Chains A and B, each alone.
Chain A
Amino acid sequence: MRSRPLVSILRWVVLLLFALVCAFPFAWAAFTMFKSNDDLYTVGHVPFFYNSPPTLDNLRVLLTETAFGTFVVNSVEIGVIVVILTLLASVPAAYAIARLTGQWGGKLAMLIFIIYLVPPTLLFLPLSRVVAELGLQDSIWSLVLVYPTLTAPFSTWLLVGFFRTVPRDIEEQAMVDGYSRVGAVVRTVLPLAVPGILTVVIFTFALTMNDFIYAVAFISTSSQMTVSAGVPTELIRGDVFFWQSLMAATVLVAVPVALAYNLFLDRFVKGLALGGVKG
């Protein structure tokens, strides 16, 4: 590019604009969470300053006087178990598609992609009946049962891509060296696929936190709710929104999740490219 400094400045301006637009709602939430009640709810006050000093009270209320802590614990519990279940189903399946299927592997991958397209906002109707009939209504276990339908197809897709980056030679060598195929894969392919598997872990966990419809459809008891379901519904008493606490909850969840994603983002996109376009 010829006109170096001008392009550089333009680039920075555009970047800053994007960053601003993307982050503003969260910045505003972070700002709000420290505002005291009288400051916030007095209409005349300038919203951009702390007219009364910032306070940690809202944070305290959120953590000690609401069910937020319970929501987080539930979400984490569900997330961890669902990650394990997803890996148990997806890793073998992805390996099979990457190595063992040849002809019908492509069709299988396409089938899994179509399953990914089936929206939870459609399936929640029959699934809420299933959940009720299994007696899992109002329990986090209903979500543990159902969430892998959200996470497994995409995880399998990603994992196929990661497995394809490991050369076939490696596991064949291990087979000649004395292991069965399963033994060879466990000892040579899986260790090499660890970064990919970690990426899938992060993505799966975040996906379970992202779900709203199942969480809201299956669970109505506060003590069993996840963050996504509980924060928008339970932290509102009657018509009163405890905005500062609500915004604190949003920020407390958004930041760690974003951090985790950023650590693995490059691999995630690579996995999409490898497993993705060609199916």
Chain B
Amino acid sequence: MAEVEVRDIRKSFGGADAVDGVSLLCRDGEYLVLLGPSGCGKTTLLRMIAGLEQPTGGDILIGGKSVKGLPPRARKIAMVFQSYALYPHKKVGQNISFPLEAQGMSKEERDERVRWAADLIGIGHLLERKPRQLSGGERQRVALARALVRDPQVFLLDEPLSNLDAKLRASARLELKQFQQRVGVSTIYVTHDQVEAMGLGDRIAVLNKGRLQQVGTPDEIYHQPANAFVATFVGSPPMNLMQRDGRLVGFRPENVRVVKRSEHGDGASAFPCRVIRIENLGSDRYVYVSVKDDAGESKLIAKLAISEVIGVQADDEADLLVEKRFLRFFDRDTGESTAA
């Protein structure tokens, strides 16, 4: 395993910049997630690291050495595509041994390695089947086994869970994380799903429009967003933002209490609002309110546990109470975070 670093890397297609000067380091053994909406450049970045696209500027280093001119086969990386790209005309066992054949390994050694990888991932019983006979989850595991078998320096994963049923995804996420921790290979993982990112990443790199917005642990990303984009992209429902006193004020829905007007809390900030609607969603209660701010009116959300009693109803005039420590401030024009 090794460090992966990109330095000021750029990629433009025609006139448009898909990746615009990103610098990032994935440490040895780290699980780094590239998170962002579609079109933000995360997949392009991943493909450049793999060698499937050539950067128009900047450098890529694996294990401290520049790999910029090298074709994918020389980079000692393993990649799993969103579609898993299993070779349809080969059996599972042959799929997994394919990278080893490319290395010229002897048949005995290949078989031994394939066994090892398949057992590690738990698909030893599938080796004689063809990909079309497998379920989505099984195919994903075969792709992982194939990635593992060549003992790569880096794993590159491009949204490998998005083709799975929603129900399967949570358990697949857990398995994936455990697998990576056991094997200990540096991993770069692309996703647009912030729940996945939060759950899997040692660190998360948030990208938008080809630029790096923030790199940090899930905690840092969530609680100390570097700009309004990160603040609203991560978190479900997204962070509430309103304009006040010439700047943006933000707070997360779960940090809000909704009380009747004129009841005041303990040093919490109070924002007058009108309740629009209350949704009971099983374990949570969402309260939709409307607040007057610099920009006119903003619709905000409060997320409360169902067990919390609330004393307001739709159309009530109420107050949103937020403890000062949960407030975040952003520049109104640039979106960058500013001090209180």
Contact = CB atoms under 8 A, between A and B. Distances in A.
Contacts of A181: 71
B85 interface: yes
Contact of A169 (B71, B77, B83, B89): B83
Given A172-B85, A173-B87, A177-B150, 10 more contacts: A169-B81, A169-B82, A172-B52, A174-B87, A175-B72, A175-B73, A176-B73, A176-B77, A177-B78, A177-B98
Contacts of B156: 176
A177 B81 contact: no
A120 to B, nearest CB: 38
B102 interface: yes
A191 B50 CA distance: 25
Interface string A179-193: 111010000100110
Counting chain A CB atoms within 10 Å of each CB, which of B73, B83, B156 scores highest?
Answer: B73
Interface of B: 50-52, 71-73, 77-79, 81-83, 85, 87-89, 98-99, 101-103, 146, 150, 156
A5 interface: no
B85 A173 contact: yes
B85 A180 contact: no
B150 A178 contact: yes
B73 A169 contact: no
B52 A178 contact: no
A179 B73 contact: yes
Contacts of B83: 167, 169
A177 B98 CA distance: 7
B102 A173 contact: no
Counting chain B CB atoms within 10 Å of each CB, which of A170, A174, A178, A181 scores highest?
Answer: A178
Contacts of B82: 169
B113 to A, nearest CB: 13
A178 B100 CA distance: 8
Given A169-B81, A170-B87, A180-B73, A175 B98 contact: no
A173 B71 contact: no
Given A180-B71, A180-B73, A175 B52 contact: yes
Contacts of A192: 88-89
Nearest to B73: A178
Contact of A178 (B50, B88, B103): B103
Contacts of B101: 178
Contacts of A177: 73, 78, 98-99, 102, 146, 150
Nearest to B75: A176
B50 A176 contact: yes
A167 B99 CA distance: 19
B61 to A, nearest CB: 18
A176 B79 CA distance: 7
A82 B72 CA distance: 36
Contacts of B89: 188, 191-192
Counting chain B CB atoms within 10 Å of each CB, which of A167, A176, A192 scores highest?
Answer: A176
Nearest to B101: A178
Interface in A187-212: 188, 191-192
Contacts of B71: 175, 180-181
Contact of B98 (A169, A172, A174, A180): A174
Question: Which 7 A-B pairs give the minimum distances between C-beta atoms?
Answer: A178-B102, A173-B85, A169-B85, A177-B99, A176-B79, A176-B72, A175-B72
A181 B73 CA distance: 9
A173 B72 CA distance: 9
B74 to A, nearest CB: 9
